[in-house]
Chains A and B, each alone.
Chain A
């Protein structure tokens, strides 16, 4: 159990990346439209985030400097500011969606409209940030989020034709009336979700919150290599359930209710209860991850005191940024905009932020001044460069594909 507690930072970080509200729906939607034909993208994404999260975690353990600190240091004030704006907007849009997602989970459980739950959800997120210790926050929401494993168990219970699923996974490409453009669009959406920038902001800042040093390199690596593959597994299980239940009958997935249905089909009311608790924990965890990341990025760019390891009054600007972000979330959601749609637009900003986030990590991880003996090896650098190319490609293609496919429709 103690071992499990040691890797909850990695688990919570991955949940925010792979199964936050936008991805819950995107995974199920992709499963319903393409079966497992995009599963390889999730695998590619898991490897990519593992490479770069490990680098950012190692840099923190060795030098004590989190990612956005380095982004400004290596890119300078101007380019750093551009990176800040792009990545802050992705993170804020995701936060808005998550607050909506927590409220939607409550709507599903209670029948009361999500707009009424929404201010309460935002307040609860703030209260946890204000009062709860970082390690408790990651343990509670990281472990509760693991309830989403119910999707994997449900997939098994639904008794699919496994050969058929494997066949889909090994034959990439669109089917039926789907085009290569929509296939590529959702491929980029899944890849972007796996490598979304706030994961490394949260993970590296979390390392500082947990006071990692050189002795914690093993902990850092276990967090990466357990947390992110688990996130990828959840994402694949959700797609798998939708592929089994919706693909054969041609149903399109648009709502959170449809995402959770496979668990109810497999296990009845108990399944539904577990999956709703899991969705609540995952979206609430992602809301914590994104609101803290909003504070981390801005404070680290400007060099302000940040962190939950000090009292709120000692990091007052950091806390005020998060309060403003949460109030903004309430205001945006009040317009009755669909929370799931909000994350679709965050793809645009994510595309701009991706290369600017990961390039400085790679540069610092190779800097002997910072890293000494712990700097990157050649093999790692080779793969990291390949991924930097992929990120650049995704960032160039994302916006045109979004326009051409009218956001995947």
Chain B
């Protein structure tokens, strides 16, 4: 896989890039760090780190102007869910589309 893989510049293509849900387009955070496998000769990307969550490279769908992922079981929107439950949902109209 390493031989056929795309050559990426960690700083330019990965770090601080926006994470997006591949299906829904939901914004899921930024890439804070990367995990590399250095045993393979050429370093190979094994995972992305966002906050406290580790996103295995297998869940990455595309690396473009944003990084599209399939989050699966990962909980990347903990903060948003907390604010939603405790504050935003208590305000009338929180679930309505704007007019």
Contacts and interface: CB of A to CB of B under 8 A. Distances in A.
Interface in A356-405: 369-370
Contacts of A130: 91, 93, 98
A313 B65 contact: no
Contacts of B94: 311-313, 316
A313 B93 CA distance: 9
Interface stretch (B27-35, B39-47, B52-60): B27-35
A306 B27 contact: yes
B73 interface: no
A214 interface: no
Nearest to B9: A369
Contacts of A320: 83, 87-88
A131 B97 CA distance: 8
Interface residues of A, number: 34
Nearest to A299: B27
Interface string A138-154: 00000000000000000
A76 B10 CA distance: 12
Interface string A71-85: 011001100100000
A150 to B, nearest CB: 30
Q: Which of the four size classes fits the interface of chain B?
A: 20 to 34
30 contacts: A63-B65, A64-B65, A65-B65, A65-B66, A69-B18, A72-B16, A73-B18, A76-B16, A130-B91, A130-B93, A131-B96, A136-B99, A303-B28, A303-B50, A304-B29, A304-B79, A305-B26, A305-B77, A306-B27, A313-B84, A313-B89, A313-B94, A313-B95, A315-B80, A316-B81, A316-B83, A316-B88, A316-B94, A317-B79, A370-B65
Given A76-B16, A320-B88, 14 more contacts: A72-B16, A72-B30, A80-B16, A299-B27, A303-B18, A304-B29, A312-B91, A312-B94, A313-B88, A313-B89, A316-B84, A316-B89, A317-B80, A370-B65
